[in-house]
Amino acid sequence: MRFLTVRSAVRSFRSLPWPERSAAISRVLLCLFLFDCAWSGGGHYPPGSLLYPRLVLGTLLLLTALPVLGRCLAKEHRMVVLSLGCFLVWTAVCALRGVRAGNTPAVLRGDLTGFAWFFLLPVCVALIRTKEQLRRLLSCVLAGAFVQALLCLACNYYCAIHPDAVAQVGAIAYSMLLGNISNVSDSIFRIFFFSSPYLIAASAIALFRQVHSPRFRFSYTLLTAFYFNALLLTFTRSLYGATGLAAALSILLSLIGHRKRLRRVLGHVLITVGLTLCLILGQEVLLQGSYLNFGLSRTFGAEVTVSSAYRTRAILASRYGITFDFLGGPSTRSEDQLLAEEEQKTEYLVITEASDTLRKETVRQLRQLIAKAPLFGNGLGASAPVRDNGFDEMFYLDVLCRMGILGLLLYLSPLAWILIRFFRLAPGSRASCAELLLPVFCGLAAFLFASAYNPWMNAVLGISWYALAAVLLDFPHQTKTTDI
């Protein structure tokens, strides 16, 4: 049966005219591209390679999409494409101004290479024409985010077993621009993957698929639990905030659109929370790391204790002589060792305060630079002097500093046109595609929120989701197009 399906698909592909055949190839490449973005961060793998998979995929994606790029100039898309063109022209002007001003070359190059990925926006508009095509793309995001969540779980387990190898694992992860892995204490490790916002977007996709599924799917709750576990282990406050925002939006929109499925939504949320707690507390018991406590402590800037599961093995060993060391796992830590680790966590919170102080000084200096040239900016590559490497991390202030108010407005103008067009669509037409469009919207909200403290939206990861959000333009009216 599968052979016949593949055979019929090949036959259909051969019968297509050349532009549509090229577009079909391009859609496959776009699926692979988003899958890669959803797990591999900067995508610089294998280490030492000159050509990375994402660079190859992006180049081939653009070339194969060329025959159908004229679609993005249709009436309903024209203003978005023109406003994007204006932003790219202003980017080139700011780059020249940055070179003339002698701004940091590495930062300038980073800005240019990041914004260059905006070619994905017209590509997505031209390629994504049907519900099934968008569904496949979002399925690739689900799969890629699950790979990321499993990698996070594996890294946490490996670091707990081999604490002396944390620095080596972290160096390998950073060399591939996968993320940062570092010690908080002897049993707690910060595993921050650069693709983490895709975990939030994937959680929204899972919720809306659950709501629209004919029956309750346990797999969606389990997937979301893995995503939330990985998000907790990032110990990153901006991601926690983005998760809360996306979760609130997703639940609210799903309840507004499907009031009759209130029990389904609440069931998904409660089971997901339960599974997430089981996953986190299970790791705390086995690996003796107080992940939940530290995540909350770092969020609120003070010691918070809500779980003692990490002390279970030590209590059983010291008071009752019961040990259950598992194969390859770390030996049971005594209660004295766990108390010593509490001191290490407190020291890390002091480091967090120092980081906050650096951020405040960065904000102050960026505001001074913005005040010098508020309308047109100081050119690409401008940065706060307090940052030795020139990377300020705060996306919106960065854009204001380098490109001015004009640059930020031009950057946001395609998004404004997209959202205006989306909310002006007939509610019934939009509701027919809610399962696909609303998680894209919620994921975009998470990216925009998190980018206030991390530079996702001027890099390939954030811009890829920005481009995907372009399907909100006129998508319900495209669903009659033949799926290829």
Most confident of 90-104, 122-136, 251-265, 388-402: 90-104
pLDDT at 482 over 50: no
299 occurs within a structural domain: yes
Question: Considering its fold, how many domains does the chain have in total?
Answer: 1
CA angle 186, 197, 185 (to 5 degrees): 5
pLDDT at 150 over 50: yes
483 occurs within a structural domain: no
Q: Cα 459 vs. chain centroid, distance in angstroms?
A: 11
Q: What is the pLDDT of residue 329?
A: 62
382 occurs within a structural domain: yes
324 occurs within a structural domain: yes
Measured CA to CA, the distance from residue 424 to residue 403 in angstroms comes to 31
Task: Report residue 480's pLDDT band, with 50, 70 and 90 as the boundaries.
Answer: very low
| Cα–Cα distance list, 166 to 148, 180, 298 (Å) | 18, 11, 21
Task: Give the sign of the dihedral formed by CA 266, CA 270, CA 272, CA 273.
Answer: positive
| Cα–Cα distance list, 118 to 137, 232, 455, 460 (Å) | 18, 30, 15, 8
Poorest-pLDDT segment among 121-125, 155-159, 226-230, 386-390: 386-390
Give residue-wise pLDDT tens across range 421-455: 777 765 555 666 778 889 999 999 999 999 998 88
Poorest-pLDDT segment among 113-122, 154-163, 341-350: 341-350
370-378 mean pLDDT: 95
484 occurs within a structural domain: no
Residue 284 tokens read as: 């705390």
Measured CA to CA, the distance from residue 157 to residue 21 in angstroms comes to 45
In 20-105, the DSSP E strands lie at none
Residue type, 128: I
Residue 333: phi and psi, rounded to 5, are -90, 140
111 occurs within a structural domain: yes
Of 188, 193, 162, the closest CA to residue 343 belongs to 188
Q: What is the pLDDT of residue 55?
A: 93
Task: Give the sign of the dihedral formed by CA 456, CA 193, CA 449, CA 223.
Answer: positive
pTM of the model: 0.93
Give residue-wise pLDDT tens across range 68-97: 887 766 666 778 888 999 999 999 999 999
Q: Which residue has the higher pLDDT, 273 or 315?
A: 273
Q: What is the pLDDT of residue 319?
A: 80
297 occurs within a structural domain: yes
Q: Which residue has the higher pLDDT, 464 or 388?
A: 464
198-207 mean pLDDT: 98
Q: State the chain's mean pLDDT as an integer.
A: 88
438 occurs within a structural domain: yes
Q: What is the CA radius of gyration of the chain?
A: 24
Domain range enclosing 443: 2-478
Give residue-wise pLDDT tens across range 214-265: 999 999 999 999 999 999 999 999 999 999 999 999 999 988 877 788 899 9
Q: Cα 379 vs. chain centroid, distance in angstroms?
A: 28
Residue 387 tokens read as: 């940052």
Task: Report residue 479's pLDDT band, with 50, 70 and 90 as the boundaries.
Answer: very low
Q: What is the pLDDT of residue 318?
A: 79
Residue 385 tokens read as: 């002097």
Residue type, 289: G
